[in-house]
Amino acid sequence: MAFLVRFVGGVDALNEYIGRGVAWLTLAMVLIAFVVVIMRYVFSFGFVWLQESYVWLHGIVFMVGAGYTLMHDGHVRVDIFYRPADPRRKAWTNLLGVLLLLLPMILLVLFVSYDYVLTSWAILEESREAGGLPGLFLLKSVLWVFCLLVGLQGLSLAARSLLVLTGHPEFGEPEEQQGGM
């Protein structure tokens, strides 16, 4: 069980660090969008690469921040049965959800994206737009980063659930949710 405790702590710390870091990209997106709008509507010119940059940042924020969101229970859930459930039932729900839904989905995304990402790397794919950003292959690689971070966080959630089911209630609900909403 000590391994599970260390694993949960390590994965949670990793996704916390990455999630807080990638959140700063939203500020960059807003600033870039502001500059694009000012350039286009005040000065009547623009750059394709600048427009693409905030779209790419948007994708990176969502894909790389997904593990952080899962850790903080921010994904959509039907709370009719889950919210009033006791910690053991929540642990079972989370464990089965990870094993039967989350991990198979992550494996499917990895399988489907495998050739997509490798082909992009093989040709060092760039934007299709004239004047667009180089390095589209790097953006496509974010699919694998998504799978890694969400997969690890899913395993952390499963480990946390196992700890609750084996008598470690301190691994139940995160502090943000305790006290009822």
Q: Which residue has the tokens 């940059």?
A: 53
Q: How many residues does the chain have?
A: 181
Q: Check residue 44 and report its DSSP letter.
A: S
Dist. CA 81–CA 78, nearest whole Å:
7
Residue 7, classed as helix, strand or coil, is: helix
User: What is residue 173's predicted lDDT score, i.e. its pLDDT?
Assistant: 66
User: What is residue 81's predicted lDDT score, i.e. its pLDDT?
Assistant: 82
Would you give the end-to-end CA distance of the chain in angstroms? 31
User: What is residue 75's predicted lDDT score, i.e. its pLDDT?
Assistant: 83
| Torsion sign, CA atoms 51, 133, 56, 113 | positive
Average pLDDT across the chain, whole number: 92
User: What is residue 179's predicted lDDT score, i.e. its pLDDT?
Assistant: 43
User: What is residue 169's predicted lDDT score, i.e. its pLDDT?
Assistant: 73
User: What is residue 16's predicted lDDT score, i.e. its pLDDT?
Assistant: 98
Return the domain boundaries, the chain. Answer: 2-72+87-170
What is the pTM (predicted TM-score) of this model?
0.89
Instruction: Calculate the CA dihedral of residues 3, 93, 61, 16 and round it to 10 degrees.
Output: -30
User: What is residue 174's predicted lDDT score, i.e. its pLDDT?
Assistant: 56
In the chain, the amino acid numbered 58 is H
State the Cα angle at 117 between 112 and 123, rounded to 5°: 140
Q: How far is CA 36 from the centre of its chain?
A: 27
Question: Do 142 and 60 contact (CB within 8 A), yes or no?
Answer: yes
| CA-closest candidate to residue 139, choices 129, 155, 125 | 125
Q: Which stretches of the chain drop beneath a pLDDT of 70?
A: 173-181
